[in-house]
Every structure is written in structure tokens, then in C-alpha cells.
Structure 1
Amino acid sequence: MKLSQPSTLMAAALLGSLGAVSSGVAATNAVIAEECCQVIELRQYVTYPGKRDALISLFETRFIDTQEEAGIRVLAQFRDLNDPYHFTWLRGFGNMEARKQALADFYSGQTWQTYRNDANATLYDNDDVLLLRPASPGSGFVTATRTRAAVGNTAPRGGLVVATIYHFPQEVTADFISKFNHQLMPMFERHGAHVMGRFVTEKSPNTFERLPVRENVNVFVWFASYSDKAAYDHYLASLAQDALWRDRAFADLYKSLQRWPEILMLEPTSRSLLP
């Protein structure tokens, strides 16, 4: 459902990058991430056939820099490789109150008023939005070393981001977060995943009601980057040979979930900050 006033079109969401760095640098990056984006929106849009690239072009020329001027951290925009009609993006905020103010400023601003009809004309549905927060200290995105391409740049960004969404029947527990951080994530990274961020549902009431979010959900979302699809396939093949994953961890994890995970195969657009 499209919105007649501020539509869900803003731009992308958070920070992101990890790396094999010293603990001191990692700690500094964690602080940066927490200060910048304690609230994340994961936004999945369905476009009309043939309209996705038109939306991306409009988004990257009109809605990234203007959102950032309003205090919104636009982090990433993606084409979903599994669905030609899906456009996915991420954006971040310092906290819920900052989100309310920034969204009000952007959606009442001249740029959105001028181009919102053009944006809405590309959209079949834009209500699939998860409101998230970092799962634990230091688990948010870090973009301190990332540079956004200039307006008008259409060169491929490169890389692949895979977002995995685990749905739980109850709120995600501290025990599961600890298990992921100390058992599952090291195993995934050992086989080639580059984990960029881990998030859980932000349970605060939606402070900007004109833009709906998915309520009554309990999710754990983790993002990982790969050099390309072949690298991701190699990761899956390698992980499948891991006895711990194959014989115990896989079943333990999937039995705890409310339903099968959502796995988003995401190709960054030209002006995305991620991966």
C-alpha cells in the first residue's frame, strides 16, 4: 500500500563493515556504530514490472543526500537477485526520537514533495519494514572507511550481501544472541562469511505512524558480505561439510525458529555504502 504523504521511499540504512582489525580499532568502530545508528530500518519494496531501475535511479539522485541532510543515515540500497521486482534498502537513526524528527523533516521537505508521486508510481507495495536495533554492543554496521559514489555514478558497486532473517515465536533471548556471537558466527566466518552486523527487533512503538512497520514480530537478522555469488556458493558448500553444523547446530537452530528463515540475496546499487 502506497502512502499519499511520506511514502516509504527514503534511503537505506546503516553502517557496515567489519574486518580483521585490532581489538582497539574494533572497539572504536563499535562505539561509532552505536553512536550513529541504534535504530535501523530494513525496507523491502515491491515495484511494478520494469520499474525497479527507475526507482533506483530516482532514489540515488534525489533521496540519498537529502535524507542525510535531514539526519537520516542512508546505508545501503540493493537489487534482490531472487526477485526482479524487489528493491531493498537500509537506513539508520541515533534513537527513536531522532528517527521521528528526521522523518518528519524529510517528508515535509521540498524534495519529497516534488518527487513523491514519481516514486509512488514505481511501487506496488512498500509496507514490508522491519524496525531493528543492534543485537549486542558492537554488533551494528560500521561505515567509517566507506565512501559513497557521487551522484550520477552508475558503475556497479560490486560484492554480494546476504541478509538472513530468523523468526522466533517469542522475543529473541540473550542466550541466543550469545550463542550466535560465540558459536554460530565464528563457524560461519570460518567458512567464508564476512559478518557485517547482527540485529534484533526494536520493540519501541513506531514514533512515525505514517510509515508502517511490521509489528508483533521477533526477528534476529544478520548480514554477511561475499565477493560474489560464487564465493557465497563456496561458503555454503564448505559449511555443509562442517560436522558441527551438519550434525547438531543446524537442527538445533532451525527447530527453535517459528518458520523457515528469510534469506535475501542482495546486489548493492552504485551509491550503496555496503558492503
Structure 2
Amino acid sequence: MTDSPEFQSVVELRRYTLHPGRRDELIELFEREFVESQEACGMRLFGLFREPAEPDKFVWLRGFRDMEARRAALEAFYHGPVWREHGPAANETMIDASDVLLLRPSGPGFPDPDGAGDSRVLVTVCHPAVPVKEFSAYFADHVAPVLRESGLDTFGHFETEPAENTFPRLPVRENESVFVWFTKSTEEHRELLDRTGAELAGKLERPWQQRELTPTTRSVLR
């Protein structure tokens, strides 16, 4: 649940590439078998999403108390009976599951659920050209307030967790430093976001990546 901030100390942003036409199959299996079973092992699932612009992508978020807790939780789940029974079927839907960002908080976390069932979430991944802490502070002090004044609240500010991956069976993206933030996605703010991206271009190694996500039925983050 998003009202458990201790589970936002380490967060995985996971984006899977699936075999064509199999996303709903994975989501049905995931929501039936992998939500309670993972949380029982000591983690929290914050969001499960379709990516409308990419019909063969599945995006999800899970959090942990710390890196050691992450290791213990993942060992318990992936060596446990639920994954042993249903993991092969999940893996059959996937082409690649290695697009994973391992993150730690650098600002406001995920909000409590608000019951907004039809909202979309926009996730933005930035590759700062300056140290990530410097960029995070600049975003908090100069960018987020401007967006907020225009009616667009940001949440879920995270940066790369630099610690060694404590569960190497599941690879994460290494040798890159990112700043990630979330907001609710509305078409009325598209011009504002485009202008903000252009203004930040000089502080980024490359243009930011923005992905609009639609929550699945059991996604807490909406």
C-alpha cells in the first residue's frame, strides 16, 4: 500500500517487453497469483500498468524497506511455491524483462490511493548532465513549483540506487544515473510539459523519456 513509506526506500521500476498479443494474459495471471504472494514475502506492489502507446509493454513498480530486505524478499518469492508453479507461464509471455531501474527516494514519494479509477499516470525518466543530487534539488526548487502552480502536481521523485544489485538473478540497468518522477497525465498539460522538457534540455544528457501509463484493475497507484 502507498501509505507504507518504509517500502519506498528501494523501488524497482520494471518495464517488460512481451510477445505480441500476450499482455492481457500476463496481467490476468499477475493479478491473480503474484500480488498477495509477493507482498507476503516482504515487498509492496505500488503500480501495475499498460502502456497504451506500446501494446506489448507491461510496466510495474514494487518497493522494499532496504537493499537487504529486497534480497530476502526476492529470494523468498522466486524460490517459493507460487513462482515455482506459475513463473514458467509468466516467463512464456515475455521477450525481455531486464529493463529495470533500481531507485531510491529523492523527494516526495507515492501518494495514498485517491480512488481515481480512470486516471493515467505519466512517468518521466531523466538522465542528468549534472550530479543527480544537484538535478533533484533543482527540480524540487524550480521545476515542481512551476508545474504545481499550473495545476500539475508531481510525486514519486526517485534517483538511481547505486548499491550493488543484491539479487543478480534479476538484472537491473547499471552504469547510468537517472532521476525519475511521476504525475497524473492530462492532455491539457501537454504544452506545459513540452515546454518544461525544452527548458531542462541543457541539464540533461539526452531528451527525457516520458511514458503514459494506464493502471490495471489492481494497481494501487492511479
TM-score class, shorter? over 0.9
- Contact 1:157/1:272 (CA < 8 Å) preserved in 2? no
Structure 1 residue runs of 4+, over 4 Å off?
Answer: 249-252
SS of the equivalent of 2:42 reads coil
Residue 189 of structure 2 is aligned to residue 235 of structure 1: yes
Report the secondary structure of 1:105's partner residue.
Answer: helix
Choose the corresponding residue for 2:143, options 184, 208, 211: 184
1:270 corresponds to which residue? 217
Deviations along 1:71-100, one digit per CA (max 9) or x if unpaired, are 110110000011000000000000000000
Q: Distance in 2 between matches of 1:184 and 1:169?
A: 16
Q: 1:236 to 1:192 in 2, by over 3 A?
A: farther
Partner of residue 163 from structure 1, selected from 108, 117, 123: 123
> Is the 1:157–1:271 Cα contact (8 Å) retained in structure 2?
no
Structure 1 residues 170, 184: closer, same or farther in 2, change over 3 A?
Answer: closer
Q: For the structure 1 residues 157 and 60, does the alpha-carbon distance in structure 2 shift closer, same or farther, using more than 3 Å as the test?
A: farther
Q: Does 1:110 align with 2:78?
A: no
Give CA-to-partner distance per residue, 1:15-59, whole Å, 9 cap, x none: 3xxxxxxxxxxxxx7xx52x2320000000011011000000000
Q: Quick one: which of 140, 158, 178 aligns to 2:109?
A: 140
Instruction: Give per-residue Cα distances to partners, 1:106-129, cap 9 Å, x unaligned.
Output: 001100000111001100111000
For structure 1, which segment, 180-189 or 77-86, has the greater mean C-alpha deviation from structure 2 after superposition? 180-189
* Structure 2 partner of 1:124: 95
**Matches for 1:51-130 after TM superposition, within 5 Å:** 51-130=22-101
Displacement of 1:104 after TM fit?
Answer: 0.2
Aligned positions, number: 222
Name which one, 1 or 2, has greater alpha-carbon Rg.
Answer: 1
Deviations 1:206-226 (A, max 9, x none): 000000000011100000014
Post-superposition offset of 1:236: 1.9
Unaligned runs of 5+ in 2: none
Per-residue deviation at 1:252? 4.5
Q: Name the SS for the 1:192 alignment partner.
A: coil
Alpha-carbon distance in 2 for matches of 1:178, 1:125: 34
Which secondary structure does the structure 2 equivalent of 1:260 belong to? coil
Match of 1:22 in 2: none
Counterpart Cα distance in 2 of 1:180 and 1:186:
9
Letter in 1 for 2:166: T
Question: TM-score, length-normalised on structure 2?
Answer: 0.93
CA-CA distance at 1:190 after TM superposition? 2.2
What is the rounded CA distance, in whole Å, between the counterparts of 2:32 and 2:147 in structure 1? 36
CA contact (8 A) 1:169 1:218 kept: no
Amino acid corresponding to residue 109 of structure 1 in structure 2: G
* Aligned-pair CA distance for 1:189: 2.0
Given that residues 41 and 92 in structure 1 are in contact (C-alpha distance below 8 angstroms), is that contact kept between their aligned partners in structure 2? yes
1:222-247 CA deviation, whole Å, 9 max, x = no partner? 00014xxxxx210123x27xxxx95x
User: How many angstroms apart in 2 are the aligned matches of 1:170 and 1:213?
Assistant: 22
Residue among 163, 168, 174 paired with 1:209:
168
Task: Report the CA distance shift for 1:95/1:195 in structure 2 as closer, same or farther (over 3 A).
Answer: same
C-alpha deviation, 1:263, in angstroms: 0.7
Following superposition, the deviation at residue 196 of structure 1 comes to 2.2
